[in-house]
């Protein structure tokens, strides 16, 4: 067991394939990588998302449902490739202020409905 230098929690993350940032637990390492990474992210209501390119082939975030996102600067983006990175850990909330909000989309699916689909998919890992 080691103590995370950031959050102070004890952890044993040697089992993980991803290399951890020095002295940090998996969770702190995960959020620090997003903060320091080059990939843009969106924070909505304490959750972190990535708007992946529309022209990317393969699996689409939230099954390809369309979401409309309004950024704090007023820009509005429609995406059918939104990926949920996770609910931001309490220790990292000060570093991830909300940057946008969901706008109701008449042809989109509500977040609650999409979450149900994600849960169904994760229940059948084959």
Q: Name the residue nearer to Zn ion (CB basis): 11 or 60.
A: 11
Name the nearest CA neighbour of 87 among 103, 72, 71, 98.
Answer: 98
Q: Shortest distance, CB of residue 73 to Zn ion, whole angstroms? A: 31
Considering only residues 28 to 87 of the shown chain, the ones binding Zn ion according to CB under 5 A are 28
Considering only residues 1 to 20 of the shown chain, the ones binding Zn ion according to CB under 5 A are 4, 6-7
Q: Shortest distance, CB of residue 22 to Zn ion, whole angstroms? A: 12
Of 23-31, 76-84, 94-102, 108-116, the segment contacting Zn ion by CB under 5 A is: 23-31
Binding status of residue 93 toward Zn ion by CB under 5 A: no
Cα–Cα dist 63/4, whole Å = 35
Q: What are the helix (H) ranges across the chain?
A: 26-36, 111-123
Name the nearest CA neighbour of 2 among 24, 21, 28.
Answer: 24
Cα–Cα dist 60/83, whole Å = 8
Binding status of residue 25 toward Zn ion by CB under 5 A: yes
């Amino acid at each position: 067991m080691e103590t995370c230098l950031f959050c102070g929690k004890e952890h044993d993350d040697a089992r993980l394939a991803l290399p951890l940032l020095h002295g940090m637990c998996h969770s702190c390492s995960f959020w620090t990588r997003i903060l320091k990474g080059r990939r843009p992210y969106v924070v909505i209501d304490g959750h972190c998302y990535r708007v992946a390119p529309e022209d990317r082939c393969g699996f689409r975030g939230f099954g390809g449902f369309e979401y409309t996102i309004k950024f704090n600067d007023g820009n509005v983006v429609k995406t059918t490739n939104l990926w949920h990175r996770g609910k931001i850990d309490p220790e990292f909330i000060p570093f991830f202020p909300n940057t946008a909000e969901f706008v109701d989309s008449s042809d989109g699916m509500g977040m609650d409905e999409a979450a149900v689909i994600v849960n169904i998919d994760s229940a059948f890992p084959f």
